[in-house]
Amino acid sequence: MKYIETDRLILRNWTLNDVKDQVEGLGNFETAKNLTVPFPYREENSIEYISKHLKNNVNSYAFAVELKENGKVIGGTSLDLIDGVYGGGVWLNENFTGRGYGTEIWIARAKFAFEVLGVDKLENGYFEFNERSRHMHEKVGHKTISNSVKYCPALKRNVVEIWTRLIREDFYKALNLANLMEIYNKIKI
Ligand SMILES: CC(C)(COP(=O)(O)OP(=O)(O)OC[C@H]1O[C@@H](n2cnc3c(N)ncnc32)[C@H](O)[C@@H]1OP(=O)(O)O)[C@@H](O)C(=O)NCCC(=O)NCCS
């Protein structure tokens, strides 16, 4: 089922046909070092994840991110309700980073949360060395609220995670400031 459409991407339910693309993306150390996914990321990890996320529900939304131009799954994003607030994350296959897709997904995910789920805030973390993710978070209005420590399987060590909050008002302010309203307006939910 298609949930969200952006200019270049479709965010939809995972299917077991996506295993190959998910393993290609998350099996890469440069991607996995920014995440808490198992590493090495094998076919069985993908089958387990997708099997648990075939259907979305109010506590957990997981979207495969498909390139409109050829149907390849180039990443994933999620919204998980934890202690009453949605968290979750985003990842892209390394070959598709640096082209604005991450920002497009992050705006689409927030638009879905604010406009469809009707929440008034989101919370997310990024590892302290992840400058690209930091920039993406700040660009759309996330504010730092705390630090914590998480274990990263790819790095085989604990890392500091910068925890952030995005409130609705800051989101719209930041989109205007960074000229991102065009991306936002093209997103169909
Ligand atoms: C983080 C991630 C989702 C970002 O997606 P992306 O498509 O690569 O990012 P975008 O191209 O939309 O935007 C990245 C921004 O960071 C900037 N950037 C890139 N490298 C940077 C660096 N070293 N320092 C600061 N900013 C940087 C880019 O210039 C761009 O900003 P701009 O659009 O204002 O010019 C993607 O790189 C990814 O999946 N990485 C691996 C997994 C990961 O880190 N997931 C997030 C975990 S919190």
Domains of the chain: 2-186 (3.40.630.30)
102 alpha carbon – ligand 1 mean position (Å): 7
38 in Cβ contact with 45 (< 8 Å): yes
pTM confidence score:
0.97
pLDDT in tens, 55-97: 999 999 999 999 999 999 999 999 999 999 999 999 999 999 9
Residue 116 corresponds to which tokens in the numbers above?
A: 């469809």
pLDDT at 160 over 90: yes
Over range 40-69, report the average pLDDT.
97
132 alpha carbon – ligand 1 mean position (Å): 3
99 alpha carbon – ligand 1 mean position (Å): 9
Atom of ligand 1 nearest to the CA of 130: 44
Quote the distance between the C-alpha of residue 188 and its chain's center. Answer: 17
What percentage of the chain reaches a pLDDT higher than 90?
Answer: 98
Over range 120-129, report the average pLDDT.
98
Residue 174 corresponds to which tokens in the numbers above?
A: 């930041």
